[in-house]
């Protein structure tokens, strides 16, 4: 079970990172609110997009740990470090399609959203730690008593506004991310989560 859980975790992170990188290549159509901020910080202050992903991820982990350490596991910290590293790798590798500013960009953007949803569901099904953003929002929700949904909306809106003020890429796809990514994430997570539980039950019974 250890190998299965951690295998899903690492495979999911690679898939998730690939999806992020693909949407960033099509950023003129808009990217996820957190990536709006990452791209804006890269454009404004240098470093790399992946580096800013790591920096913000670690900051969120630190805040969540201070507020409620129960949401922070080894997988949460590894998530913060690995996703940014693979985003930089995919962007550097040249294997991703480049924006052509034609209708095909919408196909690749949609594909990137789908890949992010699948990757997020895969690594979360491993159950070795939520992502730094999720850990942060769950800890805020616990401390304030606000619903997770409300905390997510407020947090992502704040991040989006900050990224926009810094010159980040906000366009139509920024506002449809959740509607595409979330259902795919949920379906993938539920399917693989059930599979992991079945395998675990059989191993305990054996």
pLDDT tens sequence across 161-188: 999 999 999 999 998 987 888 889 889 9
Q: C-alpha dihedral over 96, 100, 106, 111, to 10 degrees?
A: -10
Q: What is the largest CA-CA distance in the chain?
A: 58
Residues, the chain: 206
- What is the per-residue pLDDT for 69? 81
pLDDT at residue 206, rounded to an integer: 58
Q: 124-151: buried (b, 16+ CB within 10 Å) or exposed (e) per residue?
A: bbbbbbbbbbbbbbbbbbbeeeeeeeeb
Least confident of 3-7, 22-26, 42-46, 138-142: 138-142
pLDDT tens digit sequence for 102-161: 999 999 999 999 999 999 999 988 888 888 988 888 888 888 888 877 888 888 889 999
| The pLDDT of residue 205 | 62
| This model's pTM is above 0.85 | yes
Query: How many angstroms separate the first and last alpha carbons of the chain?
Result: 13
Among residues 135, 181, 149, the alpha carbon closest in space to that of 32 is found at 181
* Average pLDDT value for residue range 9-14: 95
């Amino acid at each position: 079970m250890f190998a299965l859980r951690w295998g899903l975790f690492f495979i999911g992170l690679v898939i998730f990172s690939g999806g992020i990188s693909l949407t960033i290549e099509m950023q003129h159509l808009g990217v996820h609110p957190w990536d709006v901020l990452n791209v804006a910080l890269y454009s404004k202050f240098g470093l790399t997009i992946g580096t800013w992903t790591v920096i913000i991820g670690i900051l969120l982990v630190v805040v969540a740990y201070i507020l409620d350490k129960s949401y922070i596991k080894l997988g949460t910290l590894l998530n913060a470090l690995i996703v940014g590293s693979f985003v930089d790798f995919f962007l550097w590798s040249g294997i991703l399609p480049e924006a052509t500013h034609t209708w095909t960009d919408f196909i690749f953007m949609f594909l990137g959203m789908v890949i992010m949803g699948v990757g997020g569901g895969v690594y979360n099904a491993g159950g070795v730690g939520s992502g730094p953003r999720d850990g942060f929002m769950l800890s805020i929700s616990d401390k304030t008593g606000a619903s997770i949904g409300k905390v997510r909306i407020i947090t992502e809106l704040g991040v989006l506004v900050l990224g926009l003020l810094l010159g980040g890429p906000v366009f139509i796809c920024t506002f449809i991310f959740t509607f595409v990514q979330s259902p795919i994430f949920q379906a993938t997570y539920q399917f693989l989560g059930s599979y992991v539980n079945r395998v675990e039950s059989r191993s305990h019974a054996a």
